[in-house]
A = this chain, B = another copy of it.
Amino acid sequence: MDVARRAGVSTSTVSRALRGVPTVSPEARIRVERAARELSFALSRSASSLVTGKTRRVAVLTPGLPRAPWFLGTCLTGMAGGLREAGLDLLVYAITDTTERAAFFERLPARRNADAVMVVSFILTEEERERLDELGVPVVYVSQHAPDRASVYIDDVAGARQGMQYLLNLGHRRITYLQSAAADSFVWSAYDRLVGYREALEEAGLPYDDSLVVRAEYSRSGIREAVGSLLSLPQMPTALFVESDDMAFEVMSILRSCGIDVPGRMSVLGFDDHPLAESLDLSTVAQSAWRTGCIAAELVSSVLTDPSSDPTRHIVLPTHLIPRGSTAPPPTDHQAETPAVAQQEPPSPGRTVNGS
């Protein structure tokens, strides 16, 4: 090493000084640091890795064509930031199609090239998860549940309850839950949010009405169709709780194009706090993609530095409601009020219980 010669010490001492090992005399340490700076020296991680067996790198597995690129972009930078603090680098494996997917799990190129793996925006099969386990390094699932594996995700049940509670507090009684029909990703989220929806209804003593829970294809026409089914119900909902902000934007745009005022005639509540939610004045249940990435990185580095820590730990992050302009109390519908009740179909048992 040139640094060693310049500092007048052995390479062993250079190595120790640079890594902050305490058993180095202050003078030696200073000389080494100066020499390193003067020569713009940076350790070769390859050489270090070869002897320590640690790469100081963490691989992250993502879809190559992310459905929510804003989430991925934000989460990745959160991860990279969190890892950098621990002196770890971030390696991205973006998997675009099924061929690549198969090849990745067949060859596992991350083997020996990363100290840990994170999986984000990507739902794996149980076989794929088992294959990752074979890598023999910690694996952390981000923004998703993975049974018996370390996971970082938001509390979808509580988030959905927060949103429902808010709508109920505004006075809404007929509230739709609109979810994506896409089963391929974020499956637990969708399920958990529905659980939260039902729990909130139950607590409020309101009946669960199947016709108010609709699934939409994740496309403009799919969402339009779902909105259509709601607008043609004998009794329209007064609020729509939408599974994601992305879909909620579309819902708002469709409603307004139909002349239905949001929030005057219909409240719309999203989930995520998309970067545009503020601009577009969408009320939403917020999660932080950045924080999720950051926390996941911290979990990885803690598992890496402290092998005694539970490698299957689950971290559940909170959500919070952000009220904006897309929600308001339900319209005081003059036709449907007291006198009109008789015109409706006879109240169902569920409703009378509540009304009495």
Q: Which residues of A contact B (CB under 8 A)?
A: 40, 42-47, 49-50, 55, 57, 62-66, 69-74, 76-77, 80-81, 84, 89-94, 96, 100, 107-113, 134, 220, 246, 249-250, 253, 256, 275-276, 278-281, 289-290
Contact = CB atoms under 8 A, between A and B. Distances in A.
A253 B276 CA distance: 11
Summarize A's interface: helix, strand, loop or mixed. Answer: mixed
Given A46-B45, A250-B279, A66 B77 contact: yes
A176 to B, nearest CB: 19
A44 B253 contact: no
Contacts of A74: 66, 69, 73
18 contacts: A40-B111, A44-B50, A44-B112, A45-B112, A62-B80, A66-B73, A70-B70, A71-B73, A76-B94, A77-B96, A80-B92, A81-B96, A89-B91, A89-B92, A89-B113, A220-B278, A246-B276, A276-B276
A42 to B, nearest CB: 4
A65 B77 contact: yes
A253 B281 CA distance: 9
Among A57, A74, A90, A94, chain B packs the most CB atoms within 10 A around the CB of: A94
A253 B275 contact: no
Contacts of A70: 69-70, 73, 275
A92 B90 contact: yes
A90 B89 contact: no
Given A43-B112, A92-B92, A250-B280, 15 more contacts: A42-B111, A45-B112, A47-B50, A50-B50, A69-B69, A69-B275, A70-B275, A76-B76, A77-B96, A80-B94, A81-B96, A89-B91, A89-B92, A249-B279, A249-B280
Nearest to A280: B253
Contacts of A64: 77, 80-81
Contacts of A246: 276, 279
Contacts of A69: 69-71, 73-74, 77, 275, 289
Given A80-B92, A220-B278, A108 B253 contact: no
